[in-house]
Structure 1
Amino acid sequence: MRNNDSIAIISDLVGFQTVSRNSNSDLLAYVADYLSEHGVTSDILWNDDRSKGNLWATIGPADVPGVILSGHSDVVPVDGQDWTSDPFVARITDSRIFGRGTCDMKGFIGIVLAAVPDLVTRDLKAPIHIAISYDEEVGCTGVSSLIDRLAALPVKPALCIVGEPTSMQVIVGHKGIGLYRVTVTGSAAHSSQAPYAVNAIEYAAQTIVFIKSLSTEQAHAGPHDHDYDVSHSTISVTTIEGGAAVNIIPERCVFQFDIRSLPQLETEAVLARIQAFLDAEIRPAMRATSPASGVQIEPLVEIVGLDTEVTHPAVTFLKTLVGRNDHAKVAYCTEAGLFSTQAGIVSLVCGPGSMEQGHKPDEFLALSQIERCEEMISRLADRLEDDGLPWSAELRR
């Protein structure tokens, strides 16, 4: 039974403290050595200072469209969280394995690696690729070098399965994310001289009210997709700071807003409407008093959404592997949208565990979920050994 192997490797992976602010090089060395022991060559795409990298490995014929099993190596911090045991030492209690990253998403990576000794003995007609990325938790920024590599391949993989925790349900779509910082620069004065100053907080407030109107418009007019728990795109102001003292007109105010967009919504069009409002209503009024005043919008994170057609043969294929016929869409983002839109590879999200356990103290993965994911990978190997991917030509169109 491979379950014990999966648990052992997951436990090893948990021991690497790959919080996004840290390097993942030791984890990658562990994975590369493990793969090499089983005759699998891996390639690491390093960042500029070689502190972090993406790992890529192929089992089976490299010149045939295959399937990517993809996971990110970084985890969220444990700072300030009340854990009942060391978060970087895996422990098993009540048919669960506890530790940072067990659910999101070292569990999936460990299960994939545990399958390698079996996979290398198979006569695969189409390959299984293993992809391990970095910096997913800080905006899906690390995977870009791997995406660029895949986009340039003469023979692209036919399917990417991103193993985020979905309780082994097939996820066909997720919203995009845009995070933005707005800096409003006015001019200060004593509050008794308010007409001679430019109140950055007041102009920020006017802009925030306009952004709220755009969010209300999305809720009422749509577009809507009722496969999501929140069926429309949302635009939310999430932080604000400004002002120095109660009797000083503030010269600076900074706020941030968040767009969670359906694939049908063009985020650029929303930003254009905000800029048009600033050009028509805010900047002229500010500069009438102080020509040096202004408003700047800075993108912090922009992640594309995922929108795979339910009728696509890849969806049916993956449903047969997991043994359930339902599917869903989720509000959180994954790297699947990047594999799909930027590398041109049909992508789905499916992995062990529930996002309800991710990012929390005493994060865990149920052992039953490990078994279900092992079954999925075994069925995938059976299919690729029997007939490869007969639908891969259609997937590449």
Structure 2
Amino acid sequence: MDLDDLSSYTVVPTKGTVVKTLAADADRIYFASDAGLHAYGKADRTLSPVEFDGPDLGEIWGVDHVDGKLVVVSAYGFVAEIDVAARTSVVTDLHEAGAEAGPQAGMGIAAGAGYVYLGGNGAISRRDLRTGEVVNLPAPGEAKDAEVIGGVLYTGQYNAQGIWRYDPSRSRDPRQAASFPSEQNRPLDTSWDPENRLLLVGVQSDTEGGGALWTYCPRTGRKASYVNPIDDVQLVRAVVNRDGVAFLGGDNASKEGPRATLVALDPVTGKERWRLDPRQAAGVAALAVQGRNLYGLTTRGALFVVDLRTRQVVHTADVSAVSEGFAAMVTHRGAVYGVSDTTLFRFHPKTFAVRTVVAGINGAWYSGPHVNVHGGLLYTLRGHNLVAVDDRPSH
């Protein structure tokens, strides 16, 4: 842009969806996007990637230029000093250099094939349940939720990163398995549909409102996205499935408008089967299916239970003493378990009475608690620590 004539400017399309930080020398403008580090030549008005010998920069939080060198701050916790002419780099780990470090808050949690995975910012922690070894796997953005399918980890990756894949039997870092339109940017909940062999992901659109349901087939790589399956204001906070039907729970990021709508749809075609308004004052926080019943928790701590055969609400209760705000639920040993920011609890499969399993669990979660099951144990967080809970309800 010509500062003496603001009507005179040039627009250059870039790779990626977001340009966040910029720096310049006499000849080029350097910028970071979700497609990496690039340079724009002022003379020939061309774009080119900045090539150098060094590590993956992941999500880039800062760029500066000094004396022919680019200084780049990576979300992976290091600073890379890149010699643009020589195409070399010097990397400084911030923790090793003396920066104060501490444990991250957790995000999605998944368990299977002898491992437990915990999502974080710029990393996915993998714990070997046999040896106790912990490895932090680099992954840009945030693994909001995840499933282990056939021994392979699949994550819903924020921001606008789609679905990522990690196979522990191969010596490769996590990689993107499927991308989706950038406005579908915030995965919230995942569910494996064994009937249709599809990974289901509930999504929020931060910029457009509403949300989407993603589907992905690990065997074929086929993907689909059904935008605003509830309506154009309700995001898909929760997704579960039974007998090849997906059940979606709606929430609303704004103060006004509908919320807590339930929609049943065919995840293969995206065709709606039915919908139900359970008449709740707050949006859905979590869903679970046990027997003939669909359980729903709201963000204000209300429980509602829907009989899937009659499609009627058959039970409601105030459970805010154990759950208020975001929550997660999972089915285990014939009962539905839930976890909130404070408590691990379960519901009786016949009376729906709530019982505390672990009080004061107080998991250090960044964007809502999670719980998963593997090998007869429940996995969640107590504070910043991963814990396994062996609970045997007598019903």
TM-score (normalised: structure 1)? 0.23
Max radius of gyration: which structure? 1
Which has a greater percent of helix?
A: 1
TM-score (normalised: structure 2)? 0.23
Q: Which protein has greater RCO, CA pairs closer than 8 Å, 6+ apart?
A: 1
Which has a greater percent of strand?
A: 2
